[in-house]
Structures are given as structure tokens and as C-alpha cells.
Structure 1
Amino acid sequence: MQGSATNTSAAWDIYAKELIPLRFGYPLWGAEPDSRFGEVQLGDVGYLREGYFCFIFNAMSPADDPRNLHRGVPDDFEMFRPPNPVPVHRPNVITQYQLRSRNVRSSATSAQGTVATIAAGIRFTCTEETGALLVLKDPGHKTYLDCGRHIARYMQTHLPSWYEFAAERLGIDIEEKDLMFISGFTKTTVWGEAAFKAGAGNSELVLSAGAASPTPLMSGEIELARSHASDPLVIYRSGPPDRVPELERARDEKFDQCIFLNFYKMKRRIWRQVIRAAAGPHELPSSPDDETGSSPLTASVCTDSDGLGTVGP
């Protein structure tokens, strides 16, 4: 179920802005795999649209790979083959079942009325203008490539042809700086998410715990509680819808839901600089020295998990 929005920032923008400071990567509003291309994979080239990652082709798979046959690949396609292609796996990088922006508070709710029909749960309250919430059933596992220099050089060589392929051949309304190379991701099994816009007061959301649920998400019962804001907005989603919540995870339940994304992007600037950030903005801020001519490409990185950021030549 989803709330409605009028005259407000998009839910996916609020959600990303509020959870980026947690430094797990770029928070995806659309965590579920694409119906045509499957789940997000290392080496995917694509772009963001309304909180979803949109796949174009995979740079680490051959041109005749089934995923690449859907849309094709650029004319001068060359696979990305790093010297050490083995990805790094970090299980359980997220173990808590809820991640909240700093301005979202939680409190337990009590069951009232008939126990069979009303269950206890957790009430989340946004105390400032905007906030975000992510609730998980299982831990989040991270996978990433630890070869940033090779990725940056590869993109510098091939980004112009990627853009020509996406914009001219496929007709995608996109700018060159929007294209990204997926270098890592964090995935889980079942999730619930919410974006809050409180306006002049507080907005609230209640997650109801079912009788057999270990956490407030597992029953799938989400309801909008009484709100004290003058123009409140809470937009919420949960998924995937085909996974029936149970007390213990089913054996065939896959960690294929991408909740955080790590990537490399590039844009043309007069001064060459590389920007590294644990979970920085997915676009560099505009500045007077931005050009679209023959100025060098610079990398905008959303990769590291250690929370350190540096700017240098």
C-alpha cells in the first residue's frame, strides 16, 4: 500500500537523502529485481530513475550473455577484466532489523481489543520535516569489487560510447553524467521502507507485528497512524509481495533484494579531481567550472564503507 503525494519532494529522493548518512551506500527505493534483467549484479551499467536502478548492459559479461542480449551493447564493447576479478563478500554488514534517519523515533505499541484481530507493533514518528525508515527481516550482505582505479580508467575510456549507445541508439533521456558502473551492493530477503514528510508537525507510521512474527515487519501489516502534521505525508512500501512471512526464513528465500548500491559515475570538469565518499550524493554539485566539451572526466564514487572521504588530484 502506498500513500499519496502532492506538492512535495518525491519519496525516493527523501528516502535516499535521509539514509545516505548511514554510509552503507546509495539507498534504493526499488529493491526488487527487474522483471526482465533480474537482480543487480557487479559490472552492471545503468542509471537511476525514481529510486530504481535501470539496467542497460553488464560490462563484466560477454556481449552474447543473456542479460546483454535484451538491449545489446555499445559498438566498441570491451569487457571489464580487472586483474583480480574475485569480489569481496561481507556477510551481515547490517544486522539490526531497522535503520532510521536521525529524526525518526520508534516506540512500542500495545495490543488493544481482541488479541486475534489487533497485534502489538512499533510506532515510528518523524520529528522533523523529513525522515526515512528501512526495516529488514534478515541481515544485509555486502558484495563489492576492490579495484577502484581500474574501474575509473575503464570508464574514462568507454563512457562516451556508453552514452552514445544509451541516448542515441536506445533513445533514453539521460545525460552522460547519469551513467553508472555498479561496483558493489548490499542485499537482503524481505524489507519495508518509508519516507516521511512531516510539514509543521509530526507524522507517524505503525508496523503491526503478527502473532507469529519475530519482528514488526513480518506480518506484512503496515498502517498509517494518526498524524499531527498540518500537511503530513508518509509513503511506504514492503516486499517482495510473493514471500509469505514466517517465523523462520524459508530455505528458498534468496538474498536478492538490493537495498544499498555502490557505484562509480563520471562527469566532465576543467579541473581533474577524484571525489570519494562512503555514501555521498549520487550526483556531484554543479559549479562554474563544469563544462561539456573536452574537459577531463572525473569520478564520483559511492563505494567505501569506512566512512572516510577525501578530495584530491
Structure 2
Amino acid sequence: MPIQLGGSLQYTCSTESGAVLVLGDDADQFNALNIGYFRKIMSEQYCTWLNKANGEENSYGIKLHDLILVTGCDKTSLWANAVFKDGSSEFSISVNAGAPGIANGSFSAAIKDSGTGRRMIRKNWGPSTRQV
């Protein structure tokens, strides 16, 4: 008889903003090879980008420290994430998993915000269930 595996994680952050990401499957990592080229372009173009973001049509209030150079990404089929702004927050995450031939299971992640105060929270996730 296959066994069921499970677990939980509690994440507490006391900063003004933060994020949590849980991967339920293997992830493939893709990174730029010529990071120096991207740094050069960013150093040449950041003023243009800031002017575009904060011009008459768009007034996002973006500052130099808000620009982030992303040089890679991770891809997976199962995931859950949450981000928050304007106050501390606490998230509880439950995960169930299995292994072929050993344990039946599915990936599911429930993110529950138990923080207090007024803040912006965004949650998202990949497929809600999937046979392992």
C-alpha cells in the first residue's frame, strides 16, 4: 500500500515588503551567459527607462533603486507564490507530495495570510493538483 507524504512550512517576515515561493516540481534554470553586456546596456539606458516610467503618460514614481537587472529565470510546472507590501506578514504553506512506486500524492499548496494591518497581498499558483 503506497504511503502519503506531507509537510508544512510557516514563513514570517517582519519587513515592509516580501515574497515567498514554493516549487512543487523540479525546476529548469536558464541564465544569460553575457551578463556584462546587459550591465552595459542598463548603465547606458537607465535614465531613458526612468523617464519613460515617470513621464507624463505614466507616473509610477520609480526610482533608480527600483530597477532590477534580471539575468535568468527558473521554469517549473508546479508552484505557489505570494508577495506583500505595506507591512509585515505571516504565511502558512501546506504541501503534499508522493513518489512513483513508493507513495501516492499530489502537489497542492495553500497560502494563508495571517498577518495584521492594511497591506497589498497577491497570491498565485500553478496547477492546483497533479498526480506525481
Q: TM-score, normalised by structure 1?
A: 0.28
Q: Decide whether the 8 Å contact of 1:125 with 1:205 is kept in 2.
A: yes
Q: Which residue of 1 aligns with 2:23?
A: 136
Q: Which residue of 2 aligns with 1:92?
A: none
Give the counterpart letter for 1:162 in structure 2. W
Q: Which residue of 2 aligns with 1:245?
A: 129
Q: Which residue of 2 aligns with 1:147?
A: 34
Q: Tell me, in whole angstroms, the C-alpha distance in 1 between the residues paired with 2:128 and 2:94.
A: 20
CA RMSD, 1 decimal: 4.0
Q: Which residue of 2 aligns with 1:157?
A: 44
Q: Which residue of 2 aligns with 1:180?
A: 68
Q: Tell me, in whole angstroms, the C-alpha distance in 1 between the residues paired with 2:65 and 2:82.
A: 28
List alignment gaps of at least 5 residues for structure 1: 1-118, 225-231, 249-313
Q: Deviations over 1:233-260 (max 9, x none)?
A: 49895513xx352214xxxxxxxxxxxx
Q: TM-score, normalised by structure 2?
A: 0.56
Q: Which residue of 2 aligns with 1:22?
A: none
Q: Tell me, in whole angstroms, the C-alpha distance in 2 between the residues paired with 1:149 and 1:221.
A: 38
Q: How many Å apart are 1:204 and its aligned residue? A: 6.0
Q: Tell me, in whole angstroms, the C-alpha distance in 1 between the residues paired with 2:123 and 2:35.
A: 33
Q: Deviations over 1:47-92 (max 9, x none)?
A: xxxxxxxxxxxxxxxxxxxxxxxxxxxxxxxxxxxxxxxxxxxxxx
Q: Could you tell me the percent identity over the aligned residues? A: 19
Q: How does 1:111-260 map to 2 (within 5 A)?
A: 121-125=6-10, 130=13, 134-168=21-55, 169-193=57-81, 206-207=94-95, 212-214=104-106, 218=107, 220=108, 222=110, 233=115, 237=123, 239-240=125-126, 243-248=127-132
1 or 2 for the larger relative contact order (CA 8 Å, sep ≥6)? 2
The count of aligned residue pairs is 111
Q: Which residue of 2 aligns with 1:25?
A: none
Q: Tell me, in whole angstroms, the C-alpha distance in 2 between the residues paired with 1:177 and 1:152.
A: 15
Q: Decide whether the 8 Å contact of 2:109 with 2:128 is kept in 1.
A: no
Q: Deviations over 1:128-170 (max 9, x none)?
A: x649864322211111112222222212221111111111142
Q: Summarize the Cα distance change of 1:158–1:172 in structure 2 as closer, same or farther, 3 Å threshold.
A: same
User: Who wins on radius of gyration, i.e. which is larger?
Assistant: 1
Q: Match of 1:162, SS? A: helix
Q: Decide whether the 8 Å contact of 2:93 with 2:109 is kept in 1.
A: no
Give the counterpart letter for 2:63 in structure 1. E
Q: Which residue of 2 aligns with 1:294?
A: none
Give the counterpart letter for 1:138 in structure 2. D
Q: Match of 1:173, SS? A: coil
Q: How many Å apart are 1:178 and its aligned residue? A: 1.6
Q: Summarize the Cα distance change of 1:166–1:144 in structure 2 as closer, same or farther, 3 Å threshold.
A: same
List alignment gaps of at least 5 residues for structure 2: none
